[in-house]
């Protein structure tokens, strides 16, 4: 059983790949070269319905009641199998996204198997919430809450870290005894499809994991979230889409978990270790070509080190190596698509109209004939903008940041919090007390001190404001993917 049938990437429903019975499909393009990689079979409403029915059937057939230790063991086998097929996952992810092979190995695929192992551990260790209640007559009652699977969960994910973000949701959902119907991004369907093979190989019952391919509105995404048979939606993507999904789910009042966009700030104080801060900032601005929801797009720098940070970061940006994703020396891939590049270039033009000084980048690079059809863009840094400008307020989702000076701690906090988003922040300082103080005052879900994107998967992850609703990670994931039933016993 293989995910790929010739050029077709297929849907996976009820334990089987579905043979495309129509030409209804779309082309998948390699963002590094612009060449066709595959055709993807687009699921219509009837196929999405079959997937939801299969998921529901698998719950009724016993999956929801599988002992926790069996589910945890299955998750561990899935992680082992991903490890065995590691290079296939790396190749599929690199082909879909154009990201450097080194990053796909070290971050994307490694995190995928870690997601399975972590949630096997988390679910195995989870306890029950209980209270012994004192009664007026001197007696007592025992309250305890049993947690049951939510049911059929719709999982919708974006293209930037496709397998990492998918498994971040699928692993806890399965750990809790749910069945899932996943809708990967139309840009990156391959690894979700490959995961179907792996989960079948390790003995996941048919119907527990289903994949439907397609777009969002008026396609598989919308068919899925509006389907009356789903019991919850976990969504990662842009804030605008999250808002639409929320409206579509509202009539049925289903729980949602939303991990949405960001416009994340870094604050750099003048007591900082310059070299360490520059290394951290380079990562936080340019990892995955700036296409990580956690990436920094606003860098507030205390005036005393502003020129050093600006010059140092520009030098590091110029040192990034754009090129073939397969080359070990490549640090930076293309953007996901020509359409996304156009959006980012429009922001480049807008920033310049608004008076930005371009420290480095700002254009499309020349990388030779083989890569000329790809969606390449130069790592870019601006000075001269303020929080009033759109390029500093709106999520760009590219390898770009604006550097803005500040004088006092309070001013830096106010500037960083002056945003509609609230996903992540990072604080760079050698003053430990200040680090804690400022990090706690960030209106975000995740605040880092002297590091960025360092994750303990047991800790809560998510955002406030336009950046999302709810938290996933560790116990927070168990809470989203289950419903408690409280039992009260008069003793």
Catalytic residue among 259, 378, 395, 472: 259
Closer residue to ligand NAD (CB): 10 or 183: 183
Sign for the CA dihedral angle at 258, 259, 260, 263 comes to: positive
Per CB under 6 A, the list member of 28, 97, 241, 447 interacting with ligand NAD is 241
**CA gap 71, 43 in Å, rounded:** 29
Q: Determine if 397 is a binding residue for ligand NAD (CB under 6 A).
A: yes
Size of interface with ligand NAD, in residues (CB under 6 A)? 31
Q: Determine if 470 is a binding residue for ligand NAD (CB under 6 A).
A: no
One-character DSSP codes across 351-381? HHHTT-EEEE--S-----GGGTTS-----EE
Nearest distance in Å: CB 282, ligand NAD: 20
Q: Determine if 215 is a binding residue for ligand NAD (CB under 6 A).
A: yes
One-character DSSP codes across 170-200? HHHHHHTT-EEEEE--TT--HHHHHHHHHHH
Contact at 8 Å (CB) between 385 and 347?
Answer: no
Closer residue to ligand NAD (CB): 96 or 186: 186
H helices within 354-462, ranges in order? 390-393, 409-417, 432-440
Contact at 8 Å (CB) between 45 and 37?
Answer: no
Q: Determine if 216 is a binding residue for ligand NAD (CB under 6 A).
A: yes
Q: Determine if 185 is a binding residue for ligand NAD (CB under 6 A).
A: yes
At 106, which helix (H) or strand (E)?
Answer: none
Nearest distance in Å: CB 135, ligand NAD: 45
Q: How far is CA 27 from the centre of its chain?
A: 23
User: Which residue's Cβ has the minimum distance to ligand NAD?
Assistant: 216
Q: Determine if 8 is a binding residue for ligand NAD (CB under 6 A).
A: no
Contact at 8 Å (CB) between 102 and 332?
Answer: no
Nearest distance in Å: CB 100, ligand NAD: 18
Q: Determine if 159 is a binding residue for ligand NAD (CB under 6 A).
A: yes
Q: Which residues contact residue 267 at a Cβ distance below 8 angstroms, ignoring those fewer than 6 apart?
A: 300, 406, 412, 413, 416, 425, 426, 427, 428, 429, 438
Q: Determine if 375 is a binding residue for ligand NAD (CB under 6 A).
A: no
Q: Determine if 325 is a binding residue for ligand NAD (CB under 6 A).
A: no
Is-catalytic flag, 42? no
Residues that bind ligand NAD (CB under 6 A): 156-160, 165, 183, 185-186, 215-217, 221-222, 225, 236-238, 241, 244-245, 259-262, 293, 395, 397, 423, 463, 468
Q: Which residues are catalytically annotated?
A: 259
């Amino acid at each position: 059983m293989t995910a790929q049938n010739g050029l077709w990437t297929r849907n996976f429903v009820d334990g089987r790949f579905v043979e495309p019975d129509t030409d209804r499909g779309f082309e998948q393009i390699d963002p590094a070269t612009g060449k066709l990689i595959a055709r993807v079979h687009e699921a219509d409403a009837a196929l999405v319905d079959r997937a939801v029915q299969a998921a529901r059937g698998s719950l009724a057939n016993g999956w929801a009641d599988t002992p926790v230790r069996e589910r945890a063991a299955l998750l561990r086998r899935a992680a082992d199998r991903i490890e065995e097929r590691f290079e296939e996952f790396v190749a599929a992810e690199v082909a879909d996204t154009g990201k450097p092979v080194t990053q796909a190995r070290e971050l994307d695929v490694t995190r995928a198997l870690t997601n399975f192992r972590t949630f096997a551990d988390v679910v195995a260790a989870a306890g029950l919430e209980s209270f012994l209640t004192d009664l007026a007559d001197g007696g007592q009652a025992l309250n305890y809450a049993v947690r049951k699977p939510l049911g059929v969960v719709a999982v919708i994910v974006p293209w930037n870290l496709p397998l990492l973000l998918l498994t971040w949701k699928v692993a806890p959902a399965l750990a809790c005894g749910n069945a899932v119907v996943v809708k990967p991004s139309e840009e990156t369907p391959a690894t979700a499809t490959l995961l179907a093979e792996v989960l079948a190989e390790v003995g996941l019952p048919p119907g527990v994991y289903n994949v439907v391919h397609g777009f969002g509105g008026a396609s598989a995404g919308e068919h899925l979230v509006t389907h009356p048979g789903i019991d919850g939606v976990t969504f990662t993507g842009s804030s605008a889409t999250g808002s639409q999904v929320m409206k579509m789910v509202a009539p049925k009042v289903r729980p949602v978990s939303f991990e949405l966009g960001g416009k994340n700030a870094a604050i750099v104080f003048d007591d900082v270790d310059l070299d360490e801060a520059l290394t951290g900032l380079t990562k936080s601005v340019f990892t995955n070509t700036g296409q990580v929801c956690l990436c920094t797009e606003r860098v507030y720098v205390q005036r005393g080190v502003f020129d050093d940070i600006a010059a140092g970061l520009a030098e590091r940006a110029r040192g990034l190596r754009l090129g073939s994703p397969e080359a070990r020396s490549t640090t930076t891939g293309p953007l996901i698509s020509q359409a996304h590049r156009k959006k980012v270039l429009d922001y480049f033009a807008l920033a310049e109209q608004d008076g930005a000084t371009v420290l480095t980048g700002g254009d499309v690079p020349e990388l030779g004939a083989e890569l000329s059809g790809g969606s390449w863009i130069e790592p870019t840094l601006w000075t001269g903008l303020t929080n009033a400008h759109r390029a500093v307020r709106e999520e760009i989702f590219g390898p770009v940041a604006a550097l803005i000076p500040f004088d006092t701690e309070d001013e830096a906090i106010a500037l960083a919090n002056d945003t509609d988003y609230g996903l992540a922040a990072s604080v760079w300082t050698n003053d430990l007390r200040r680090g804690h103080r400022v990090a706690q005052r960030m209106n975000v879900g995740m605040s880092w001190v002297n590091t960025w994107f360092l994750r303990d998967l047991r800790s809560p992850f998510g955002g406030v404001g336009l950046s999302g609703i709810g938290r996933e990670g560790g116990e927070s994931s168990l809470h989203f993917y289950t419903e408690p039933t409280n039992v009260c016993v008069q003793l």
